[in-house]
Amino acid sequence: MTLPTQPFFATAAQRARLARQRFFDEGQRPSGLVGEAVIQSWNRCLSARHRPGDGVAFDPVSAARAQTAAMRARPLLEAVRAELDQLETTLRGTACRVMLTDSQGVIVHVSQGEGAADDRVMPAAARVGVNLAEAAIGTNAPGMVVHTGQACTVSGAEHFFDMVQGMHCAAAPLRDAAGRLVAVLDLSTENRPFAFDAASIVGLYATAMENRWLVAQARDQLLLRFQANPAVLGTPLEALAAVGHDGRVHWLNGAARRLLPEDTVGRDAEAAFGVGLDGLLALSAHPAPAVRHLPGGLTVWLRAQLASAVLPSAPTVRAATVPPPAAAADEVTAAMPAPTLAEHDQAHVLRTLDECGGNIAQAARRLGVSRGLLYRRLRAQRQG
């Protein structure tokens, strides 16, 4: 009779318990039993003079620090509200809690709900203002993302402190246009493992939120949405890039960085996409994606969108009350000064609003901005 391989620690939970025994009791490195990131986190916790049996106090940070974190997080929370609501709806039938921390690990948002009746740690840990950083509560998914910048999952006995071994958490980072960590999205549950692939879910929603934040930060830039498969345009899998008034690429999201050369940011748009700013502005007038052959040889479907409603002030759109005769149309067009990026932007706002029958909420969704931003932009146009 052939015995199964590793008969006494076949499950992840069993491997984690064996890893703890070898690491904490026997002083051995448990490679292969838990992830390398978890082992490194355990080492950092020991170096900080923590011990697994120590108690953990989930006390909120000081009032001043909590207030600062809340103020900094407010624009982000406003930008990703739709994604947070959707994620919480998706997880409503589970015992999971959705948390968003700032770049330091301080919770700035927690989903509503009481959790499971047997939760002991969650009620204390899942509160706005609690610091989930590794230095405060040991090995945990959001704390590790804050430290490493990489998505991770920490389950059960992989947590450093004994008292939080009933927790299971999966977390992923959100970055800004400069690639800096701005927040961490986390899913946590207690006393029961995830009944689904939590890493995939948190990764999908973190990407969607990051994209939403990048678009909100586009300001007066031309936003490019593209992918090698047109079916994923408008989804979290789409590539995003922003081109400024100078005709250069200002930032790329993660999907775009996988399609373009490493040195794309800062380069001229024509070098990156095979078409300059004027050509990209022309594409913004057409809702359908255009097929483009990138200089590197890859064919993508690309849609250009002006960052409407984010420009603080834009000149009034020039409008001709009497259309020029057909024969003279080319001459008139040639004589007109080239429209600026801001003027293209305002025209796009008005055109989109008209297509939506004046429905502000629908127009805001189509433009990828909040209703508040759109209201402020329209008010600025009327005052101008």
Q: What is the pLDDT of residues 6-19, one digit of tens each?
A: 555 679 999 999 99
The larger pLDDT score, comparing residue 338 to residue 57, is at 57
Query: Helix, strand, or coil here: 42?
Result: helix
- Please write the tens of the pLDDT for every residue from 63-73: 999 889 989 99
pLDDT at 339: 45
pLDDT at 334: 37
Q: What would the two tokens of residue 190 be? A: 């207690």
Q: Within 13 Å, how many C-alpha atoms sit on residue 306's CB side?
A: 27
pLDDT at 252: 96
Task: Give the number of other CB atoms < 10 A from CB of residue 316.
Answer: 9
Which numeric CATH code is attached to 12-215?
3.30.450.40
- Please write the tens of the pLDDT for every residue from 136-160: 999 999 999 999 999 999 999 999 9
Q: Which amino acid belongs to residue 247?
A: G
The larger pLDDT score, comparing residue 333 to residue 220, is at 220
The H or E element containing residue 225 is strand 222-227
Q: Which amino acid belongs to residue 312?
A: P
- Please write the tens of the pLDDT for every residue from 192-249: 999 999 999 999 999 999 999 999 988 789 999 999 999 999 999 999 999 999 999 9
What is the C-alpha to C-alpha distance for residues 137 and 127, in angstroms, rounded to an integer? Answer: 14
Whole-number percent of the chain with pLDDT over 90: 68
User: 12-215 and 313-384 share one CATH topology?
Assistant: no
Q: What would the two tokens of residue 233 be? A: 């345009």
List the 181-190 sheet strands across, edge first.
107-110, 97-102, 181-190, 167-175, 152-155
- With beta carbons less than 8 A apart as the criterion, state whether 252 and 240 touch: yes
Mention every residue, 6+ apart, whose C-beta is less than 8 A from residue 175.
181, 182, 210, 254
Q: What would the two tokens of residue 331 be? A: 């001459």
Is the Cα dihedral 132, 133, 137, 140 positive or negative?
A: positive
pLDDT at 10: 77
CATH for 313-384, options being 1.10.3210, 3.90.550, 1.10.10, 2.60.40:
1.10.10
Considering only CA atoms, which of 169, 164, 157 is closest in space to residue 21? 157
- Orientation angle between helical segments 63-79 and 81-90, nearest 10 degrees: 90
Whole-number percent of the chain with pLDDT over 70: 78
Buried b (16+ CB within 10 A) or exposed e, 4-43: eeeeeeeebeebbbbbbebbbeeeeebeebbbebbbebbe
3-state DSSP of 160-202: CCHHHCCEEEEEEEEECCCCCEEEEEEEEEECCCCCCCHHHHH
- Please write the tens of the pLDDT for every residue from 270-327: 999 999 999 999 998 888 999 999 999 999 999 999 865 333 332 222 333 333 333 3
Residue ranges in 21-61 assigned as alpha helix (H) = 36-47
Average pLDDT of span 159-167: 96
Average pLDDT of span 350-369: 68
pLDDT at 306: 83
Average pLDDT of span 51-65: 92
- With beta carbons less than 8 A apart as the criterion, state whether 45 and 134 touch: yes
What is the C-alpha to C-alpha distance for residues 38 and 146, in angstroms, rounded to an integer? Answer: 14
pLDDT at 379: 58
Q: What would the two tokens of residue 208 be? A: 């969607």
Considering only CA atoms, which of 239, 295, 227, 290 is closest in space to residue 267? 295
Q: Where are the domains of the chain?
A: 12-215, 218-307, 313-384
